[in-house]
């Protein structure tokens, strides 16, 4: 049996609130709806702004070391 190892690094993804001047963080409420895909409800811990995303935040993504750069468009 052969193994191939690649270096990965955990990246903590936080969804920062988009409300001007808030600076809070959106946290998953555990409430989800599934239609074509599952969407999860998030609420800002500071101002209460609510939004939906296809992933839950905060989350940890494991990325190849060389994938980390100025483009952080990965989920
Ligand atoms: Zn907020």
Determine the distance separating the centroid of ligand 1 and the alpha carbon of 55, expressed in angstroms: 18
Domain boundaries in the chain? Answer: 8-67
Task: Write the pLDDT tens digit of every residue in 37-58.
Answer: 999 999 999 999 999 999 999 9
Residue 62 Cα to ligand 1 middle (Å):
27
Residues of the chain with pLDDT under 70: 68-75
Q: Is the pTM for the entire model greater than 0.85? A: no
pLDDT, residue 30, reads 96
- Residue 30, Ramachandran bin (φ over 0: left; ψ between -120 and 50: alpha; else beta): left
Q: How far does residue 46's CA lie from ligand 1's centre (Å)?
A: 5
State residue 63's pLDDT score.
86
Cα 66 to ligand 1 centroid, rounded to whole Å:
32
């Amino acid at each position: 049996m052969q193994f191939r190892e690649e270096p990965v690094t955990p990246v903590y993804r936080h969804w920062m609130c988009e409300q001007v001047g808030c600076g809070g963080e959106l946290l998953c409420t555990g409430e989800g709806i599934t239609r074509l895909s599952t969407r999860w409800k998030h609420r800002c811990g500071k101002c209460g702004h609510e939004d939906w995303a296809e992933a839950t935040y905060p989350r940890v993504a494991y990325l190849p070391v060389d994938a980390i750069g100025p483009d952080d468009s990965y989920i």
